Amino acid sequence: MAEVENKESARVTAHSGQETGNLRACLKSYYLSSKFTGMTIITAEKEFKVHKLLACSRSGYFARMFDGDWLESATNTVKLQEDEPLFVQAMIDFMYGIIYDSTEHGQTSSILFHVGAYQIADKYDIPQLKEHAKSMFEDLVTIAWNMDDFPPVISAVYQTIPICDRGLRDPLVHAGSQNFSDLLEKTNFVEVFDSTPGFASDMAKHLLRENQELKSDTSALRCGW
């Protein structure tokens, strides 16, 4: 607990000396010190004091909530107790221009953290955070296919991201198809492949399409096109 408090103090101190004329710096400072906040977000482990105007400007979900006749609009309190506190904090930090560091969370791998950030951004309609998480995921998945946490990533994406959302599924399938032969040598991958019909179906379609494109290219070469 003391270590957590020290980290929070350090975060406040790091921004408390910003000039008052710098809007972005002021917002970060006020967020870290909870000054002038107008709403509270409650998770299972922690409460966050947040500026309502900023939250509504960055999140379509919160904008609709406080623009409607919801209980939260009267109490200025939002309970997100079903969401992982780590990702709620990453979401709120991002609203204030503080980019999350996926390497700071020892119990969650970097690529799984990007999945969690993407999922919460989708849930609370924060397009900029969703795009950031997607970009980071795309960069990392090209090497993560050979890591032990690749199968859990497949499970997480196909269990938590809506089926119509291809943002993480497509780069995941592409990485899997590019390294399919090697992955079939890994027991954990085979188990997830067998137990995740959506992923298996996407992989089959992708590999079939690649095979058809290869045949088409080969045919064109034979005809001298």
Q: What percent of the chain has pLDDT over 70?
A: 80
Contact present, 53 and 38 (Cβ < 8 Å): yes
Total-model pTM: 0.81
* Residues 142-180 pLDDT 10s: 999 999 999 999 999 999 999 999 999 999 999 999 999
Contact present, 119 and 87 (Cβ < 8 Å): yes
Give the residue extent of every domain in the chain: 92-225
At 59 the pLDDT is 96
DSSP string, the chain: -HHHHHHHHHHHHHHHTS-TT-HHHHHHHHHHHTTT--EEEE-SS-EEEE-HHHHHHH-HHHHHHHHTT-HHHHH-EEE-TTS-HHHHHHHHHHHTT----TTS-TTS-HHHHHHHHHHHHHHTT-HHHHHHHHHHHHHHHHHHTTSTTHHHHHHHHHHHS-TT--TTHHHHHHHHHHTHHHHTT-HHHHHHHHH-HHHHHHHHHHHHHHHHHHHHHHHHHHTT-
Characterize the bridge pairing of strands 39-42 and 47-50: antiparallel
Contact present, 72 and 65 (Cβ < 8 Å): yes
Taking all residues of the chain, what is their mean pLDDT, rounded to a whole number? 85
pLDDT value at 63 more than 90: yes
At 211 the pLDDT is 75
